[in-house]
Chains A and B, each alone.
Chain A
Amino acid sequence: MIEKTGVPSKDLIESIFPDKVVLKKPKAIIECYKEIPCNPCSTSCPFDAIHVPEDINVRPEIDFDKCTGCGICVYNCPGLAITVMQLQNGKVSIKLPYEFTPLPTVGEMVNVMNRAGEVITKGEITKVQLTDKMNKTALIHMVIDEIYLHEAITIEVKHGR
């Protein structure tokens, strides 16, 4: 299905998530489903948690024990295919990459999208990071309800918001 529509199947999505216990701490969720020649996720990780071998076409492998959920890979991934997720008190805290202007503002309630581009819920923006070294890919921190853990992926773009 993903090969025709760009939407990964439920099985594919679930295959990249760790156990919910692991997500008590923030962890990078890598949605790189097909081999492409690319390795910045691995080379940018300061904790040696993501591995791509010498053959850079091999899909990245993440060591959740080492991943701290810092988010550096999120804004270094050229495919914008990484988010960071954490489960806390029935909520999911998400860090996601965002490359549109204007950026959302802290406290704003935004429309949250699933992988099919449908609005599924509202999320509260808790932090917006964009420093020089992030090179124009902002990190948006957002909190949503836990039931959307496997569904939420980005926020709706609103030009001229």
Chain B
Amino acid sequence: MKRAEFVIIGAGPAGLRAAKSLLDAGAKVLIIDRSDLLGGQLTKQTHMFFGSEKQHASKRGIDILKLMVDAIIEHENLEIITNATVVGLYKDFVIGYVKADVYYKIQADSIILATGASEKAIPFENNDLPGVYAAGAVQTLMNVYGVKPGEKVLMVGSGNIGLIVAYQLMQAGVEVVKLIEAASHIGGYLVHASKIKRLGVDICTNMSVKRALGKDHVEAVEIWKLDAQWKGIEGTEETLEVDTICMAVGLAPLTELLQQLGAEVKYVRELGGNVPVINQQFKTSIDGVYACGDVAGIEEASSAMMAGEIAGIEAALSRGYDVENAANRLNELREDLSNLRNGPHGEKIRAGLAKLGVL
């Protein structure tokens, strides 16, 4: 069986940054990713990032990705396996993955899980009609493959993803008919909301989808007002002519592999669902196994980068590697991370981390 000292599962912002830390420490690294492209969600993030300059704020996600890949890609200690889906993670640190219908196994010494998250959906009549999408899928179609998902879209959800994808749909020449939100106020950054509102997209709170209409694909959608308990109010229905319903209703950490491994997970609503119980080092309940990025709780890509770097440094230290200036760098990263989570938009993540006992 093939052996690898450090295996990173997932080549998004967290995984790539963890790889950089490990390579800098002199370790050998194997990255496995299910996509043909490195970068995870960064591959489609054409917007400028928030945060501080240290985390490349103001640069576009796709450009940050290029910097991250360029920083490691030529490294002689790096091996990358793409188009490979990890399907099994066993207690003896054997990793099973499938590539081109063939099953392979790797024996790892240490594992960093950076598997990210999957998109949530909401139930409504006809939500299986073609034309009903998750927002991340729409963003991939448009920004990675240059394919318009439709011509007239209803966006469901006013978190940053819903607001940003609505804007990017408009950039692609798609009409965003309306953006609706079940809660009583906008969830994402108000600057993103104002940016689409001033271009004519109405944002309506306390509203949800009643049902999609259409025979073979979405031809219209019925939306309705919600009461304080988020139940639809009869008589408030409104029909919109759209060919696409785009759901941006939250993300759920992809912890299945960790659960198979037997790592302790806990349901923390504020972090998106089941998350691994990790400590300050981003180590799970199993020695030698780390989790960083959205798999450890839904946050921004900037936080995932910092978490990945911390996990990479800690993993290197745990196996006896000498990391230059490790203590200082770790302190700096932890401070930056807590700074990023400090504002009103960080309230949820702070509450979630407190439940995990890592704040």
Residues in A lying within 8 Å of B, measured CB to CB: 2-8, 31-40, 43-44, 54-57, 76-81, 99-100, 113-118, 135-137, 153-154, 156-157, 159-160
Contacts and interface: CB of A to CB of B under 8 A. Distances in A.
Interface stretch (B35-43, B107-115, B340-348): B340-348
A138 to B, nearest CB: 12
A105 B35 CA distance: 40
B342 A37 contact: yes
A135 B57 CA distance: 13
A78 B190 contact: no
B1 interface: no
A36 B173 CA distance: 29
Nearest to A157: B199
B185 interface: yes
A31 B189 contact: no
A76 B343 contact: no
Nearest to A3: B185
A35 B346 CA distance: 10
Interface of B: 47-53, 57-60, 63, 170-171, 173, 184-186, 189-203, 205, 302, 339-346
23 contacts: A5-B193, A5-B205, A6-B203, A34-B344, A35-B343, A37-B50, A37-B52, A37-B302, A37-B343, A40-B48, A57-B346, A78-B47, A78-B50, A79-B191, A79-B192, A80-B191, A81-B191, A99-B171, A117-B202, A135-B63, A136-B60, A156-B199, A157-B170
Contact of A36 (B47, B185, B189): B189
A43 B53 contact: yes
Contacts of A118: 200
Given A44-B58, A57-B342, A4 B205 contact: yes
Contacts of A43: 52-53, 57-58
A31 B185 CA distance: 19
Given A54-B339, A78-B47, A7 B197 contact: yes
Nearest to A116: B197
Contacts of A160: 173
B50 A117 contact: no
A47 to B, nearest CB: 17
B248 to A, nearest CB: 15
A7 B202 CA distance: 10
Nearest to A8: B194
Contact of A78 (B58, B198, B203, B340): B58
B125 to A, nearest CB: 27
A31 B344 CA distance: 17
A80 B205 CA distance: 23
A37 B51 CA distance: 5
A36 B326 CA distance: 29
Nearest to B59: A135
Contacts of A5: 193, 197, 202-203, 205
B295 to A, nearest CB: 21
Contact of A100 (B50, B171, B194, B203): B171
A40 B341 CA distance: 17
B173 A159 contact: yes
B243 to A, nearest CB: 17
Nearest to A59: B343
Contacts of A32: 191
A78 B185 contact: no
B107 to A, nearest CB: 41
Given A7-B197, A76-B58, 16 more contacts: A4-B184, A5-B202, A35-B345, A37-B52, A37-B341, A38-B52, A39-B51, A39-B52, A55-B339, A56-B339, A57-B339, A100-B170, A135-B48, A136-B60, A154-B199, A160-B173
